[in-house]
């Protein structure tokens, strides 16, 4: 279940809520359903890069290239000359 940040347009309260596809988010402070989903939960770029690198390392260890683009894959396979 994804967790989202919301901003209540009734009382200006910011809150997080776990939301299923069928649930309508409600403000825990005033109970209003007039809330906006905010996009503040973006991981810092450095962290994303670190995750990407560790995923690639894991993929390398397993001998596949799922985390590479087709172009990068071709380059790698060329370099290996198996």
What residues line the site for Zn ion (CB under 5 A)? 8, 10-11, 13, 27, 29-30, 32
Supply 78's token pair.
Answer: 């060329």
Nearest approach, Cβ of 25 to Zn ion (angstroms)?
A: 11
SS3 8: strand
Q: Tell me the closest approach of the beta carbon of residue 29 to Zn ion, in angstroms.
A: 5
Q: In terms of CB distance, is 9 or 55 closer to Zn ion?
A: 9
Q: For Zn ion, which is the closer residue by CB, 40 or 54?
A: 40
The residue behind tokens 């209003």 is 32
Count CA atoms closer than 13 A to 51's CA, side-chain side. Answer: 6
């Amino acid at each position: 279940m994804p967790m989202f940040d919301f901003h209540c347009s009734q009382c200006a309260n910011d809150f997080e809520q776990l939301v299923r596809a069928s649930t309508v988010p409600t403000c825990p402070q005033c109970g209003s359903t007039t809330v906006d989903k905010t996009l503040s939960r973006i991981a810092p770029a450095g962290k994303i890069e670190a995750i990407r690198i560790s995923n690639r390392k894991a993929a390398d260890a397993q001998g596949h290239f799922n985390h590479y683009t087709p172009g990068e894959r071709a380059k790698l396979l060329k370099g290996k000359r198996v």
